[in-house]
Chain A
Amino acid sequence: MAKIKLSEKKIEELKEVCKSFNNDKGELINVLHKAQSIFGYLPAELQEVIAKELNVSVAHVYGVVTFYSFFTMTPKGEHPISICLGTACYVRGAEKVLEEFKRVLKIQVGETSADGKFSLSCLRCVGACGLAPVVLVGEKVYGRVSPEGVKDIVAEYGN
């Protein structure tokens, strides 16, 4: 695992998050949720700070982080791409779209491209089934995406 040094400021911010939950060990999941929403992911050094603040072992924090699929230790890309694999999108060919994204970006689901620009994830239904198959880049929704259209979407973000 690459060693990343968190800045003092970031550490302080994280300690504030813990404090907002009264440094209560029972709030670990909530603290992790909040931390991930701020930092985008949960690197090892961040987990060490949380463990210390909540007075639990780092092994325990890591255990919780690896148990819940929502938590991630991989930094998300600048433009996180999510492909909907809900029923409607799936039957309209979302899987082929996903395969094309993997091919174009040269990454697997859950990974981030080497330049840190894109990351790839799947989700189940964004409630826009009329537009199936649906792809999200950041907050922006793309509807009726075909494998052929994947390159254009990626290109929009300068790649």
Chain B
Amino acid sequence: MDMVKLTIDGKPVEVEKDTTILKAAKLIGIDIPTLCYFQLKDMNIENRPGGCRICVVEVVGRRNLAPACSTNVAKDMVVNTHSIRVLNARRTVLELILSDHPAECLTCAKSGNCELQTMAQQLGVRELPYQGEQSTYRKDTSPAIIRDVDKCILCRRCEMMCNDVQTVGALSAVNRGFMAVVAPAFEMNLEKSPCTYCGQCVSVCPTGALTEVDHSRNVINSLADPSKTVVVQTAPAVRAALGEEFGLDPGTLVTGKMVAALRRLGFDYVFDTDFAADLTIMEEGSELLDRLTRYLKGDKQVKLPILTSCCPGWVNFFEHNFPELMDVPSTAKSPQQMFGPIAKEYFGKKLGIDRKNMIVVSIMPCLAKKYECQRDEFKVNGDPDVNYSLSTRELAHLIKLANIDFNSLPDEDFDNPLGESTGAAVIFANTGGVIEAACRTAYELYTGKKLEKVEFNELRGLENVRHATLDFDGLPINIGIAHGLGNARKLLEDVQAGKSQFHAIEIMACPGGCIGGGGQPFHHGDSEVIKQRAAAIYREDAGKPIRKSHENPFIIKLYEEFLGKPLGEKSHHLLHTHYFDKSKGTYIE
């Protein structure tokens, strides 16, 4: 590798020749400010349009200032990142960006987490010298995501996520100059676009231009209504990230504190989506085994590979893009949506609570879950199985609103029976986790033998597309895993072409899986945060006394008392779903 020596702010540095000034500076502890630039290291995600010009630096001998994010180093280059000329230019650039940005920080949903606000603070902007016409655009509210284009600074991060990483293609820069906006085709609302509500655009937006639909108010009202029994379920990924909102290190597990906080917020029952994840494994795992056994017996009708169906962003994606493959994914509902009917039809009935008087709230790392719980097929006479879905961020906000000192809370346990779960359920949060959980159960059910080592390390990691062959007592099972919808598309295209060699494929829409979900605390481009969350999830699993879903005593009891058997009639009715073709263009029929 060719190395290049240069000097940045008087410090010598030697780097590989195609390194940018920005990255070279970082190596010697110089943090050049950036705004449009975005990177998730080791995850192959980078946005580098060189558009905002906040990162300009002075290169001795060069006439104009250079954008550090998109200028490569050169031999003997002398760079100054904070000369008077640079500081003046950088401030002017920011002031010009701010001249077309509403100064509504006090009431903005992103306040405190806004990178533009941080930049204004960092550069010491104390007045807005450039006043003039501001571009305005209508607000667009979808079931999960709000677009407030007035706050957009055209950094194109959302466009990069939506197109390059997710290959969803809902957003593009349209028009030009002062009229330029990032919008769906024909500037229609997001709801009419192929948006999957994965929320990755929200998780990378530096400002308040893209935010989630906030349902906290509905939840507060339900909690205050004495006629309602309010039940909460928490997704596995939440416990590995919620602490970040309270200043704890990424990867701090706060399961017990989270339960305590929810109880103090006034929820009548604090349950765990992990219980429903164990239930998902019973249904999805049984479906895998059923398809596999029929396939091995020579049944030509059977569809393999089976695809997981826990991720609502992913479900939206294949409904939009691969309608001809709709009989390939498992029919099992997601854990969130399995929890709903079990809470209302089993638990509620046991207590004599009419479903109309029960409110089920879910805490999710996800924005697509907000859309999922509003789907018509998940309602009974208009009453949704899950009433409201809050993001991890919204829960943190609720906790602060209720004056709860989170960090001093004691650890508390979930309520029973829907709060008991296994290690298999916890790892649903990580890419590869659902299929690992399924394999722990499928192995034992298929071979009739005890699985001694429950960790399938070959299924773990952060590579974009992974595959492994597991040995089911002589039967090789081929597993495929993809996280991020662009990676999922690659696997799907193989399935479409009949080239796929997999028996089962797990797909999660977000990079890293649910731990990197669109509803999680903002990672601001630090992939270490995602890695720490993943490690925390595996720690939680390792510490669980029971680590296989089919050994969860409350799951066993649920089948004995209520459901009968996996894939049975009651399961079919309450725990399975069907999919819809959403591929039709808006204009072409």
Does B587 sit at the interface, judged by CB under 8 A? yes
Q: Which residues of B contact A114 (CB under 8 A)?
A: none
Nearest Cβ distance between residue B136 and chain A, in whole angstroms? 17
Which listed segment binds A: B165-173, B261-269, B310-318, B417-425? B165-173
Contact status of A58 and B174, CB under 8 A, knowing A1-B186, A44-B186: no
- CB-nearest residue of chain B relative to A62? B185
Complex Cα distance, B413 from A112, in Å, reads: 69
Q: Which residues 174-194 of B sit at the A interface, judged by CB distance below 8 A?
A: 174-176, 183-187, 193-194
Rounded to whole angstroms, the CA-CA distance of A51 and B170 in the bound complex is 12
Q: Do A59 and B169 touch (CB < 8 A)?
A: yes
Task: Give Cα A6–Cα B169 distance, bound, in whole angstroms.
Answer: 23
How many angstroms between the C-alpha atoms of A58 and B587 in the bound complex? 11
Which residues of A69-122 have CB atoms within 8 Å of chain B's CB atoms? none
A34 interface residue per 8 A CB criterion? no
Is A5 interfacial (CB 8 A cutoff)?
yes
Q: Which of A35-80 contact B (CB under 8 A)?
A: 43-45, 47-49, 51-52, 56-63, 66-67
Query: For the complex, is B589 an interface residue (Cβ under 8 Å from A)?
Result: yes
Inter-subunit contact B588/A49 (CB<8 Å): yes
Decide if A60 touches B169 in the complex (CB within 8 Å): yes
Encoded as 1 (CB less than 8 Å from any A CB) or 0, chain B from 560 to 589 comes to 000000000000000000000000011111
Nearest chain A CB to B582 CB, angstrom units: 14
Residues of A within 8 A of B464 (CB): none
Number of chain A residues whose Cβ lies closer than 8 Å to a Cβ of chain B: 23
Interface of B is mostly: loop
Residue among A43, A44, A52, A59 facing the most chain B CB atoms (10 A cut-off):
A59
> What is the 8 Å Cβ interface bit string for chain B, positions 36-74, against chain A (1 contact, 0 not)?
000000000000000000000000000000000000000
* Cβ A62 vs Cβ B172 within 8 A: yes
Contact assessment for B172 and A60 in the assembled complex, using a CB-CB cutoff below 8 Å: yes
Minimum Cβ distance to chain A for residue B181 (Å): 10
B163 adjacent to chain A (CB < 8 Å): yes
B: interface residue count bin: 20 to 34
The answer to whether the Cβ of A9 comes within 8 Å of any Cβ in the partner chain is: no
CA distance A1 to B586 in the complex (A): 11
Question: Across the two chains, which residue of chain B brings its CB closest to A56?
Answer: B169
Pairwise interchain contact A61-B174, C-beta atoms closer than 8 A: no
CB contacts under 8 Å to A, within B251-283, are none
A67 contacts across to B, CB distance below 8 A: 173-176
Contact A48 B588 (CB under 8 A): yes
Any B CB within 8 A of the CB of A140? no
Instruction: Give the residue of B176, B586, B588 whose beta carbon is less than 8 angstroms from that of A66.
Output: B176
**A57 x B176 contact (CB < 8 A):** no
Query: Across the interface, do B163 and A44 meet the contact criterion of CB distance under 8 Å?
Result: no
Closest beta carbon of chain B to A95's beta carbon, Å: 23
Residues of B within 8 Å of A52, CB to CB, are: 585, 588
In the assembled complex, the Cα of A13 lies from the Cα of B175 at a distance in Å of 28
How far is it, in angstroms, between the C-alpha of A20 and the C-alpha of B408 when the chains are bound?
A: 68
Docked CA distance A137–B547 (Å): 79
Known: A47-B185, A59-B185. A3 touches B163 (CB 8 A): no
Least Cβ–Cβ distance between B481 and chain A, in angstroms: 25
A59 touching B586, Cβ below 8 Å: no
| B170 close to A45 (CB less than 8 A) | no
Chain A residue numbers with a CB within 8 Å of B587 are 3-4, 43-45, 48
For B186, give its contact among A4, A57, A60, A62 (CB under 8 Å).
A62
CB distance from B143 to the nearest CB of A (A): 19
A60 touching B586, Cβ below 8 Å? no
Contact check, B170 vs A59: say whether CB atoms are below 8 A apart.
yes
For A46, the closest partner residue in chain B by CB is B587
Q: B585 and A45: CB pair below 8 A?
A: yes
In the assembled complex, the CB of B506 is this many whole angstroms from the nearest CB of chain A, namely 26
Q: How far is the CB of B240 from chain A (nearest CB, A)?
A: 33
Task: Among A43, A45, A60, A62, point to the contact of B163 (Cβ < 8 A).
Answer: A60
Q: Take A5-B589, A48-B587 as given contacts and tell me if A58 and B176 are in contact as well, using a CB distance cutoff of 8 Å.
A: no
Further pairs besides A1-B186, A45-B587, A48-B185: 7, Cβ < 8 Å: A6-B588, A44-B587, A48-B586, A57-B169, A59-B170, A59-B171, A67-B173
Which residues of B approach A to under 8 Å, CB–CB? 163, 168-176, 183-187, 193-194, 585-589
A-side residues, CB < 8 A to B, are 1, 3-6, 43-45, 47-49, 51-52, 56-63, 66-67
- Considering the complex of A and B, which 6 residue pairs feature the smallest CB-CB distances, nearest first? A57-B169, A59-B172, A45-B587, A63-B172, A58-B185, A48-B585
Q: List 25 A-B residue pairs with CB atoms under 8 Å apart, sorted by A's residue number.
A: A1-B186, A43-B587, A44-B186, A44-B586, A45-B587, A47-B185, A48-B587, A49-B588, A52-B585, A56-B169, A57-B168, A58-B169, A58-B185, A58-B586, A59-B169, A59-B170, A59-B174, A59-B183, A60-B163, A62-B185, A62-B187, A63-B172, A63-B174, A67-B174, A67-B175
